[in-house]
């Protein structure tokens, strides 16, 4: 997207899309500034790539490659805000079923659209709740609740929310005997809309993911396997070309393809955001870097002595970076595990409380009863809240979320929404019992929706994850071992035709008639594992392939996590922190094991 301000229809549409994305992200920067930055970045990238391509591939290839890089740089900068906005919008739409569910529950207690909108906006977080709150404030002095304007804003990305909002508005004026049916249909419309869009996405994404897998993983690995054979056949391939292809071009293509796939995901269910100010998330950047450097150094020494001298950078970087990411993300991952355990028991807690309230028991007493009857983390939270309410004589909200409360530091939107509804139920009394029972059903439906989404995507993401951690490193290590075997044999065992060719892996000489052919044996015998200038030696090949394997481990793991759960930084860092050391170990073990065969 290169916006020149020419006034054409395409440029106007592109400008509108970019402007909408920048506004949605809340950036304090103008669209014109982003466009100008893209042009500057494109020029800089083009100049750098032209110079590098000229040194590596010659002046003939430098011009086209530099021009392509410049255009790609401009396009990348201009599309980055649109992609980020799409990613954030995808995460936001995962909260749509919960938001509509809160609207429905509040409408059952009081058929007032204004109160329901205020409750749903106040008890949620994220862009969806913020947009609803903004429309509520904008219609404060008017006759509407802002729900229709909110649904109209989000309709292009999630049409089901428009239908649900219309049914909620209809329920506000419907007779009591038909109100419940309208509200049920509103929630069903949101749930079925989410399920249908996810199913369509899974069906549509199989083709692009298969293409990514074939052309981004299988074909490059197959080409790596052909390098030793090409060297034996006299096809000299320089290290600059191989490095540019496997360390720049292919990873860049994978990044672009991954961004496209993630931007087309219709809805995601990301875990709660864990801030750096959480009491159970210490600042471990310094210690994480130290741990990463230490284990990376140990891995480098072990690889250099036990595997091959050239392997120490691959082992050090893979294990060191992976260990650093793991140490940084592990506390947040532990908090997420606690949150999931609490949310897992929420439906049971709401069932117990709803049944007690429907029988006339006070909400505060019902909360304490739920804490006594339930085990695990959920029971502990409700038991502490009931004890605080009885001891301090405070309301439900203060008992859970007050200073020192059991839910104060639990970053769970679902738990906080349930607490907000419990606070309303404490005012409404017995009629709220059935609403709390319905909340239990809603929470269970949302959990089932997320499980189904992950189950559908597992067929796609499982292949990517396994390739990143096991398959690609296995093939890469075996390929380098094959190259080492050919180099050690000095091409003599490959036949007379191969002996007359170029040993590109071992730094051989060109084949030809006359003096060159006569000197082939001398040059070949003088070549070592390190090779001469401009040749692809085994150590260089091993490091290039090892780096490519690590890049695949990071990129494919990030893509699989983003497709499955939305691009959550905690989960991405945690899983990459596991994938990098795993891929490193697999690569080195495959090299050592295959070396026994070649």
Torsion over CA of 88, 91, 97 and 98, rounded to 10 degrees? -90
Query: Above 60 in pLDDT, residue 300?
Result: yes
Per-residue b or e along 428-466, where b marks 16 or more CB atoms closer than 10 Å to that residue's CB:
eeeebbebbbbbbebbebbbebbeebeebbeebbebbbe
The predicted pLDDT at position 570 comes to 86
Residue 129 CA to residue 67 CA, distance in Å, equals: 44
Task: Give residue-wise pLDDT tens across range 360-373.
Answer: 999 999 999 999 99
Most confident of 37-41, 463-467, 485-489, 524-528: 37-41
The predicted pLDDT at position 357 comes to 92
Least confident of 260-269, 321-330, 577-586: 260-269
Least confident of 206-215, 299-308, 395-404, 464-473: 206-215
Task: Give residue-wise pLDDT tens across range 84-129.
Answer: 888 888 888 888 888 998 899 889 888 889 889 988 888 888 888 8
Query: Above 60 in pLDDT, residue 237?
Result: yes
Confidence band of 304 (pLDDT split at 50, 70, 90): very high
Mean pLDDT, all residues of the chain: 83
Query: Above 80 in pLDDT, residue 195?
Result: yes
Task: Give residue-wise pLDDT tens across range 199-212.
Answer: 888 888 888 888 88
Query: Above 50 in pLDDT, residue 27?
Result: yes
Query: Above 90 in pLDDT, residue 324?
Result: yes
Mean pLDDT of 444-448: 87
Asked whether the beta carbons of 580 and 318 are under 8 A apart, the reply is yes
Mean pLDDT of 183-205: 87
Query: Above 60 in pLDDT, residue 539?
Result: yes
The predicted pLDDT at position 3 comes to 43
Q: Which residue has the higher pLDDT, 511 or 562?
A: 562
State whether residue 219 is helix, strand or coil: helix
DSSP-derived secondary structure for 405-436: -TTTT---HHHHHHHHHHHHHHHH-TTHHHHH
Mean pLDDT of 135-164: 85
The predicted pLDDT at position 356 comes to 92
Burial class (CB in 10 A: 0-12, 13-18, 19+), 533: exposed
As a whole-number percent, the residues of the chain with pLDDT over 70 amount to 86
Query: Above 90 in pLDDT, residue 399?
Result: yes
Residue 234 CA to residue 238 CA, distance in Å, equals: 12
What is the distance in angstroms between the CA of the first residue and the CA of the last residue of the chain?
50
Query: Above 80 in pLDDT, residue 150?
Result: yes
DSSP-derived secondary structure for 438-458: HHHHHHHHHHHHHHHHHHHHH
Closest by CA to 400, choosing from 429, 340, 119, 392, is 392
Residue 522: C-alpha distances to residues 233, 354, 515 (Å): 18, 89, 11
Query: Above 70 in pLDDT, residue 507?
Result: no
Residue 409: C-alpha distances to residues 155, 274, 355, 375, 406 (Å): 34, 10, 28, 20, 7
The predicted pLDDT at position 145 comes to 75
The predicted pLDDT at position 525 comes to 37
Question: How many Å separate Cα 567 from the centre of its chain?
Answer: 3
State whether residue 343 is helix, strand or coil: helix
Asked whether the beta carbons of 384 and 367 are under 8 A apart, the reply is no
Query: Above 70 in pLDDT, residue 133?
Result: yes
Query: Above 90 in pLDDT, residue 543?
Result: yes
The predicted pLDDT at position 532 comes to 39
Closest by CA to 259, choosing from 428, 413, 84, is 84
The predicted pLDDT at position 582 comes to 96
Q: Which residue has the higher pLDDT, 512 or 481?
A: 481
Query: Above 90 in pLDDT, residue 283?
Result: no
């Amino acid at each position: 997207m290169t916006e020149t301000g020419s006034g054409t229809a395409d440029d106007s549409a592109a400008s509108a899309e970019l402007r909408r994305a920048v506004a949605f992200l809340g950036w304090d920067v103008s669209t014109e500034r982003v466009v100008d930055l893209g042009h500057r970045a494109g020029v800089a990238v083009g100049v750098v790539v032209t110079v590098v391509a000229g040194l590596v591939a010659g002046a003939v290839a430098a011009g086209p490659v530099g021009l392509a890089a410049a255009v790609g740089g401009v396009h990348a900068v201009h599309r980055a805000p649109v992609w980020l906005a799409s990613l954030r919008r995808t995460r936001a739409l995962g909260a749509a079923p919960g938001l509509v569910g809160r609207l429905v529950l509040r409408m059952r207690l009081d058929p007032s659209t204004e109160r329901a909108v205020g409750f749903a906006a106040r008890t949620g977080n994220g862009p969806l709740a913020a947009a609803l709150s903004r429309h509520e404030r904008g219609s404060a002095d008017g006759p509407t609740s802002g729900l229709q304007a909110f649904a109209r804003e989000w309709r292009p990305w999630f049409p089901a929310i428009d239908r649900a909002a219309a049914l909620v508005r209809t329920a506000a004026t419907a007779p009591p005997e038909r109100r419940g049916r309208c509200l049920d249909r509103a929630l069903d419309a949101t749930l079925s809309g989410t399920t249908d869009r996810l199913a369509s996405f899974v069906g549509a994404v199989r083709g692009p993911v298969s293409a990514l897998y074939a052309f981004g993983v299988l074909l490059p690995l197959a080409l790596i396997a052909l390098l030793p054979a090409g060297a034996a056949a006299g096809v000299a391939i320089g290290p600059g070309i191989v490095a540019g292809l496997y360390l720049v071009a292919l990873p860049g293509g994978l990044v672009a393809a991954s961004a496209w796939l993630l931007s087309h995901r219709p809805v995601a269910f990301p875990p709660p955001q864990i801030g750096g100010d959480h009491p159970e998330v210490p600042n471990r950047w310094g210690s994480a870097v130290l741990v990463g450097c230490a284990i990376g150094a140990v891995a480098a020494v072990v690889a250099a002595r036990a595997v091959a001298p050239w392997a120490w950078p691959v082992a050090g970087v893979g294990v060191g970076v992976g260990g650093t990411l793991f140490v940084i993300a592990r506390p947040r991952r532990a908090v997420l595990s606690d949150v999931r355990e609490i949310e897992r028991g929420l439906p049971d807690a709401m069932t117990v409380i709803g049944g007690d309230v429907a029988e006339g028991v006070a909400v505060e007493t019902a909360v304490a009863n739920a804490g006594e009857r339930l085990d695990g983390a959920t029971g502990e939270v409700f038991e502490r809240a009931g004890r605080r309410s009885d001891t301090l004589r405070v309301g439900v909200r203060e008992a859970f979320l007050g200073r020192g409360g059991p839910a104060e530091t639990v970053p769970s939107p679902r738990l906080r929404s349930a607490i907000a509804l419990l606070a309303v139920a404490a005012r409404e009394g017995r009629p709220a019992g059935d609403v709390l029972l319905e909340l239990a059903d809603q929470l269970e439906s949302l959990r089932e929706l997320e499980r189904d989404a992950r189950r559908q995507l597992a067929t796609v993401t499982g292949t990517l994850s396994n390739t990143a951690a096991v398959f690609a490193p296995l093939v890469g290590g075996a390929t380098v071992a094959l190259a080492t075997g050919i180099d050690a044999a000095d091409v003599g065992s490959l036949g007379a035709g191969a002996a007359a060719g170029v040993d590109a892996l071992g730094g051989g000489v060109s084949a030809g008639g006359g003096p060159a052919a006569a000197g082939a044996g001398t040059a070949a015998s003088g070549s070592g594992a390190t090779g001469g200038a401009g040749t692809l030696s085994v150590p260089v090949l091993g490091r290039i392939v090892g780096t490519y394997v690590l890049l695949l481990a990071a990129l494919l793991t990030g893509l699989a996590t983003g497709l499955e759960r939305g691009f959550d930084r905690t989960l991405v860092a945690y899983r990459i922190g596991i994938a990098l050391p795993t891929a490193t170990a697999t690569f080195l073990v495959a090299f050592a094991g295959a070396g026994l065969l070649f």
